[in-house]
Structure 1
Amino acid sequence: MRRIGRGDIIAAILIALLAGAIFTSPPLQTLQGLSLDILTALRGRLIGDGRDPATSPVVVVAIDGETYDTPPFKGSPTQTWTREIGRVLGSIAEGGAKVIGFDVIFKNSIEQSEIPFGDAPLGARMKGFDRDYLIALRQLSDSGKLVLGDTLSNDHPDVPYRAQQVAVRNNIRALNVHTDTDDVIRRMPLSFSIQDRPVPAMAVELASRALGAKPEIGPSGVTDLSGYSIPSAVANTLTLNFRGMGRDVPTYSFADLRACVEKGDRDFFRRAFDGKVVLLGTVLNFEDRKLTSMRLSGGYDGTPAARCALPAPARTAQKARNDIAGVFVHAAVVRNLIERDAVTELGFPLRTVLTIVFAAIVGCAACMLAPGGALITWFALTAVYVAVAVGAFVHALALPLAEPALAGLAALAMMIGYRFIVADREERFLRKSFAFYLAPEVIDTMVASGKMPALGGEMRNVTMFFSDLSGFSSIAEAMTPGELVTLMNEYLSAMTDIIEGHGGYVDKYIGDSIVAMFGAPADDPAHARNAVRAALKCHQKLAELNASNAAFAGRALSQRIGLNSGAAVVGNIGSKRRFNYTVMSDTVNVASRLEGANKYYDTAIMASEATVAQTGDTFAWRELDAIRVLGRGEAIKVFEPLAEKDAESAEQKKVTAAYEEGLARWRAREFAEAVDAFEQTATIDPASTLFAKRARSLAANPPPPEWAPVNTLEGK
């Protein structure tokens, strides 16, 4: 996981603000409607609604295809249906309906026809045809049970013909709908300004009569109906809640009801319409179809209700459609108002804040993770958010859905672009620069730390690692070039893998020699311990290669390793045109000298006291001597690492104990006693043999008083 810096946080915030502002801006306002469509579809598919249509407070009387195909309506123009409509409406009212609303408009009457019929117009011969119908309208209107519909328009208003207007005493309400810019109906108007006063829309008028309360507009502009403050994201509108996807509204065929009137079955009308709001409208496949927020999942033209007189027509199962008959839009408004179930949408400020917060979270994830991981995170966060949004929509609260998801995706893309162009330039430079020098794990550590190697050099505390193969020149002379290359590749690959596996950096190869450092360029507080472990592992690995690798067979290769810790200048050092990441200091020189000093003691690994001090009590050591290397006046104590603490063998413990005693006698000028101590293990330890020889010589020829127990090495 990538570390986030201050600049990344600022970038994530700015990107989130930009993405949120874009996707909640007016030009993309259709996304708000799309969110409603998606939520309606998801709720319908995942949760559904098990409400019984019989409990619906609103029912629909449909002038449907069956009506057009059934006598006496078959082949007759609708203007001739008025008498039958009046009879059916009267029976519905007698059945106990609270109020009846017209979603059909009869703009003309047969009595107005000027088509010649004999020696007079048809209309003149049909005078009085609508009398019974108009009387029924007057009676229903006077009882408060009837509202006719019209559509308001400055150019071409649709209104009932004049005689109907007089009959209902202008008891007419508008059927106009609120259409979004994408021609989808998601909200419905609550009222219209007519002669400078608000007049309720058809559905609001029907609901108010059913509830016995008038709508009131408060000082804040919120419409209140019978104690229900109607939520409005868009002023003076109600957001439709199609909880039952249209199937929660019982639908009666007008043809069957007309036959029921002929049958005289008053009980059926009482069972069907008592206490209901009734909407009369056309339900046809080609007329008055509306796109609503059910367009993605599909809605239904109600649920066929019980029949009274006519047999049910043969029909296939109802199928969901992306459009519904307009009468069901008004039915949904009536039900939302009576049941106080209209959708509550968040206002613009809250939608914007929620979108920005979501985009910011995704942006931060894109800042920390690789692009693939960030994309998976966006999918996961979006899925969780969708689940929360659907849960809220079950309770009629619509959270923005499309805006946060798209803003998050945009923030993801922008943050990836920002990282590629700005934030990750240093990381790419680092990986490219060190790909052939460092192990991938070390590079990852450097990237995670956020610390780049300083160009030109910086002072760091490091442990230097020098290794060389003993007597390799004479061995190489007896090999063919092909054999030599194969051997060196095997050896250097194995040693490099160990060094890099312990966090080391291979500075260079010089023939069979390896120069490496621990603690740079990646910070490593345990660089001394890792260097010692690498040295022990290299020594063990060479023994394995000698025993099992065909290229090493019969070579009996041995190596010398020198370790020293201290301050050094590390960085890109060289000319302006060519440089190398390397290290320089006296720490480096001493490590090189210690590698060569191994040959005097016939040891494989030698470390300075500075390295021993920085490893703590991690390893078991044997102090070898105090030496003065070539080119350095100050003496240093040198040590041989044996194994991890408490992991040394019994033989190592025996040799170390005898060697410590002999070294102490040596430094106390007790040379004869030193000889005795060193000779205890001289047969198995070359260093003890060396010291026994030196102690025997000084025992025979004692040194002067100013003698110091320091071994000055004459060569490298």
Structure 2
Amino acid sequence: MTRSRLRKWLARQSMPLLLLALVLTLQWLPPPGLERSLLRLEGLLYDAKVQYLPPWPRSVSNIQIVDIDEASLHEIGRMPWDRSQFERLTTRLAEAGAVLVVYDVLFSEPQANVALTALHSWPQQATLSDGQRQSLLTYAAGLDPDLQFAATMQSVEVVLANVLHRHGRLRTGQIGHISDTGQTVQQSVQQQRPAGTTPFEPFSGFAAPISSLANAASGQGFINAEADADGFIRRVALLHELDKQLYPSLALEAFRVYSLVEQLQPAWLQQAGHAYLQGVQIGNSLIRTDQQGRILIPFRGGARHYPYSSAADVLRDRIDDQRFDQAVVFVGTSATGLADLQATPTSLTFPGVEIHATVFDGLMAPDSLPYRPDWWAGAMLLQLLMLGMFCLWLFPRLGPLSSVAAALLLMLLAVGVNLWLWRVQVLDLPLLNLLLLLVLLSVYYISYGFVRETRRRKQINAVFDQYLPPAHIQRLLDDPGSVSLAGEKKQLSVLFCDIRSFTAISEQMSAQELKLWLNQYFSVMTQAIQAHDGTIDKYVGDMVMAFWGAPLAEPAHASKSILAAFAMLHALELLNQQYQAAGKPVARIGIGIHTGEMNVGDMGSDFRRSYTVIGDAVNLGSRLEGLTKFYGVPLLVSEDTKAEASELAYLLVDKVRVKGKQIPIRIYLPLDSDIKEPLLSHCQTFEQALAAYFQQQFIQAREQLLELQQALQVDAKLPEQPNLSGLITLYLQRIDAFLQQGPGADWDGSYSHASK
């Protein structure tokens, strides 16, 4: 592409290029005022994928949820429950076959030991010996509900919950495991990090289980779930940082315990002196995360996708099936008053405990977890640039409607590719800005196309509004590509219409009266022609010329030209009635129609041009109009026109040689569709007489014509159309001449006309 052509292209595409730059800016540097709205829209597209696409693979493990629901609160009591209830609940679940119990309940405060408190306040303890007092204290301490709960956890795999805080230094409970000496032992997350690691957003406080419970549990994890900007929870962190230490989420820790893995190993990618978190290694499985350790929640449906059991039913031994056999049981609450209901893409009241269960279920099949790779930004840049440049190449070549179709197709393609990456490759890539780019570019090009189309319509109107009927012009506007102003040869039908004795009529009126009379006449004739999709070629004096089949192709051009001629004759009858009522001269016309190959196009000089037809076939149409006066009929068509419009009825008039033509042709008078007996029978008799005439059986032809003449005198009330009486007289004169002197050996039945 030369420099000048490049400049022209850039000038034409300046607005689309600006729109492309706008979308690229929104992708990487969104204005603060729009960022929240863009995130909300992107979130809605993500929600649609979660809601309407088929669910992820079925669970490979038995996941159960024990729900502290409204019925449990009513039957057992309001929260917080006595630790003995949780100790009994854990025991019941273990006896029912549960392999892991995960509590989405915070045990950050110790429960008072009622027995020990009562012993300290007992007035008579002073009378006891030291041995008795120590025995009672030891016995009362053994009744501590926290210690009993902790003792139960020694024989059952239990994972407890903690909560991390960003504000303040509040710290309750024990977030790590401690040894019997009170020292913190190794965390379940490997803490070694390479130099230059991307920092996590740190937390400053926590609320964790009390030391006795934390020390007895198999593990603990945070239950923080941070919503997106629009308040919906779509992703969760598997790792968070507190005091420069990494801690696991409740679901991740539950998966570690379930997998019998000692430590979780963060996977780091080192590049150019920096280290980025890629995921978490658990045994041989890599769970891919973003740089902040987050994953998208693999929702499997709406709330209560997993089996729920009421905590009261478990505590009261009302469950007698095997639902908890080899199960991972999550204990939480869906009760409204306990504020553990979250807004998610699949439900506005999604229990928090089921979020942890869903994440745990996804960790069981890490290859099916939706994942946004590190290279997503580069992929989006490439997609936007390729799509934008393709649109800049495609849309200028299309019309408005084609642009709409192309835009919809490209949107479907973009959505289809995105969904394919989501379902097959398990990749989550943004979709909003791709669709936004397509919408902006398609709206621009469609709007520009409509402006260009309006300009083109005006041009077409300027050329054809004086020639074509409005409906015909509309067809041209709907398909401008079908218009060709260049000269071409086409099979067309041409019509000539002339007023009989116009000179005599013009002498009866003044110039102003003649102008008004002609204008009224031309208006009626033009209306009849355009009503049958004819193209007005020109008006010459009192003559009207029209043709059919151009500029738009018309397969039935011959039939429509004849029907237009009938309409012109009928319209003239009504017009003559108005002329007579106004005391003006009436008009009589002759119409000639021929069908043949003609040259059609925009012709003329540099000063004046017109869309017209020329050629020998056009001249023949004019000759036929002139012959109508000779035969005394208002309409004549050639045998070529009759062949093209064979569905109509015709009366053979003659076989003639017109001036300038050596080859004879047959000419016909089309019969109106409402012609009835006995006139139709008379026309048939006339054609039988002509058949005998052309076979030189002149006596037989004469007898048939005389009989027909007598029949017409009897049926004197028949309409004048067709003018059989005049034609009979014409042929009787010819027959008489031939009977006196033969037609000659070379006579072929034709009659030669020397005048136009």
**Offset at 1:58?**
0.9
Look up the equivalent residue of 1:689 and give its one-letter code: T
Q: 2:249 — aligned with what?
A: 201
CA separation of 1:150/1:101 partners in 2, compared to 1, >3 Å: closer, same or farther? Answer: farther
Report the Cα offset of residue 65 of structure 1: 14
**Partner deviation per Cα, 1:246-281 (whole Å, 9 max, x = no partner):** 59786979xx99xx9xxxx76479999966724357
2:64 aligns to what?
57
Question: Aligned residue for 1:322?
Answer: none
Task: Give the deviation of 1:559 after TM superposition.
Answer: 2.2
Normalised by the length of structure 2, the TM-score is: 0.59
What displacement does 1:602 show?
Answer: 0.7
Q: Does 1:566 align with 2:596?
A: yes
Tell me: higher relative CO, structure 1 or 2? Use CA pairs within 8 A at least 6 residues apart: 1
Post-superposition shift, 1:560?
0.7
Distance of 2:296 and 2:70 partners within structure 1: 27
Does residue 495 of structure 2 align to residue 468 of structure 1? no
Work out whether 1:187 is the aligned partner of 2:235. yes
Is 1:34 aligned with 2:92?
A: no
Cα deviation 1:603-657 (Å, max 9, x = unaligned) = 212234444455568653414242333xx36464350233389989111111222
1:95–1:270 CA contact under 8 A, matched in 2: no
Equivalent AA in structure 1 for residue 85 of structure 2: V
Equivalent position amino acid for 2:93 in 1: G
- Asked whether 1:298 is paired with 2:298, we answer no
1:231–1:344 CA contact under 8 A, matched in 2: no
1:87 match: 84
Which structure 2 residue ranges, 5 or more long, are not aligned?
1-12, 31-37, 55-61, 113-140, 165-199, 268-277, 711-723
Give the Cα separation in 1 of the matches to 2:263 and 2:514: 100
CA distance in 2, matches of 1:621, 1:500: 26
1:686 maps to which residue?
726
State the partner residue of 1:277: 329
Correspondence for 1:172 among 195, 220, 233? 220
- Residue 546 (structure 2) aligns with: 516
Quick one: which amino acid aligns to residue 651 of structure 1? H
> Does 2:653 correspond to 1:642?
no
* 1:330 corresponds to which of 340, 356, 359: 356
Q: Distance in 2 between matches of 1:578 and 1:57?
A: 90
SS of the residue aligned with 2:667?
Answer: strand
The alignment status of 1:661 with 2:689, answered yes or no, reads no
How much has 1:548 moved relative to structure 2?
A: 10
1:712 and 2:753 equivalent? yes
Alignment coverage as a number of residue pairs: 608
- 1:134-283 maps to which residues of 2 (within 5 A)? 136-137=149-150, 139-140=152-153, 143-151=156-164, 154-156=202-204, 158=206, 160=208, 163=211, 167-168=215-216, 171-177=219-225, 180=228, 182=230, 184-189=232-237, 201-206=249-254, 237-241=295-299, 243-245=301-303, 267=317, 277-280=329-332
Residues 63 and 644 of structure 1: is their aligned pair in 2 closer, same or farther, counting only changes over 3 Å? closer
Task: Choose the corresponding residue for 1:628, options 651, 658, 674.
Answer: 658
Q: Structure 1 residues 142 and 248, CA, compared in 2 at 3 Å: closer, same or farther?
A: closer
Deviations 1:447-497 (A, max 9, x none): 677644444533333221011233355457667999978876775455444
Residues 547-571 of structure 1 show CA distances to partners (whole Å, capped at 9, x for unaligned) of 8998699976532101223333322
Q: CA deviation at 1:192?
A: 7.4
Shift of 1:107: 6.5
Tell me which amino acid in the other structure corresponds to 2:251.
A
Stretches of structure 1 that go unaligned for 5 or more consecutive residues are: 1-10, 48-54, 74-80, 112-127, 302-325
**Secondary structure class of the residue paired with 1:293:** coil
What secondary structure does 1:568 align onto? strand
For normalisation by structure 1, the TM-score amounts to 0.62
Matched ranges for 1:202-601 at <5 A: 202-206=250-254, 237-241=295-299, 243-245=301-303, 267=317, 277-280=329-332, 290-294=342-346, 298-299=348-349, 326-334=352-360, 413=443, 416-417=446-447, 419-420=449-450, 426=456, 429-430=459-460, 433-443=463-473, 445-446=475-476, 451-455=481-485, 457-471=487-501, 474=504, 492-510=522-540, 512-540=542-570, 542-543=572-573, 557-576=587-606, 578-601=608-631
Change (3 A) 1:216 1:551: farther
SS in structure 2 at match of 1:624: strand
CA shift, 1:130, in A, is 12
1:651-709, Cα deviation, whole Å (9 max, x unpaired): 111122223433553xxxx8888766655556743133234335545666779999996
CA distance in 2, matches of 1:553, 1:338: 103
Kindly, what percent of the aligned residue pairs are identical? 21
1:101 is matched with: 102
Q: CA deviation at 1:185?
A: 1.6
After superposition, give the CA deviation of every residue in 1:546-595 in whole Å (9 maximum; x if it has no partner).
68998699976532101223333322234445533222334333322321
- Preserved CA contact (<8 Å) 1:186 1:293: yes
Report SS of the residue matched to 1:438.
coil
CA–CA distance in structure 1, aligned partners of residues 476 and 635 of structure 2:
29
Give the distance between the partners of 2:428 and 2:682, measured in 1 at CA.
79
Residue 519 of structure 1: how far off its partner (Å)? 1.7
Residues 162, 209 of structure 2: 8 Å contact kept: no
Q: 1:579 to 1:200 in 2, by over 3 A?
A: same
For the residues of structure 2 that align with 1:179 and 1:32, how far apart are their CA atoms? 14
Q: Kindly state the Cα deviation for residue 438 of structure 1 after the two structures are TM-superposed.
A: 1.9
Looking at structure 2, the residues matched to 189 and 63 of structure 1 have their Cα atoms a distance apart, in angstroms, of 30
Q: 1:606 aligns with which of 618, 636, 655?
A: 636
1:23·1:406 contact (CA, 8 Å) conserved in 2?
Answer: no
Evaluate the alpha carbon distance shift between residue 477 and residue 586 of structure 1 in structure 2; reply closer, same or farther with a 3 A threshold. same
In structure 2, relative to structure 1, the CA distance for the partners of 1:284 and 1:164 (3 Å cut) is: farther
Q: Distance in 1 between matches of 2:633 and 2:556?
A: 24
CA distance in 2, matches of 1:550, 1:399: 83
Structure 1 Cα separation of the partners of residues 743 and 681 of structure 2: 35
- Cα distance in 2 for partners of 1:645, 1:229 equals 87
* Matched-pair contact (CA < 8 Å) for 1:561–1:605: yes
Offset of 1:201 from its aligned partner? 3.4
Please tell me whether the aligned partners of residues 466 and 562 of structure 1 are also in contact (alpha carbons under 8 angstroms).
yes
Cα deviations across residues 395-449 of structure 1 (Å, max 9, x unaligned)? x999999789878866763563364256786566435643453234434555677
RMSD over aligned Cα atoms: 6.5
Instruction: Please say if residues 504 and 531 of structure 1, whose CA atoms lie closer than 8 Å, have aligned partners that are also in contact.
Output: yes
- Name the SS for the 2:206 alignment partner: coil
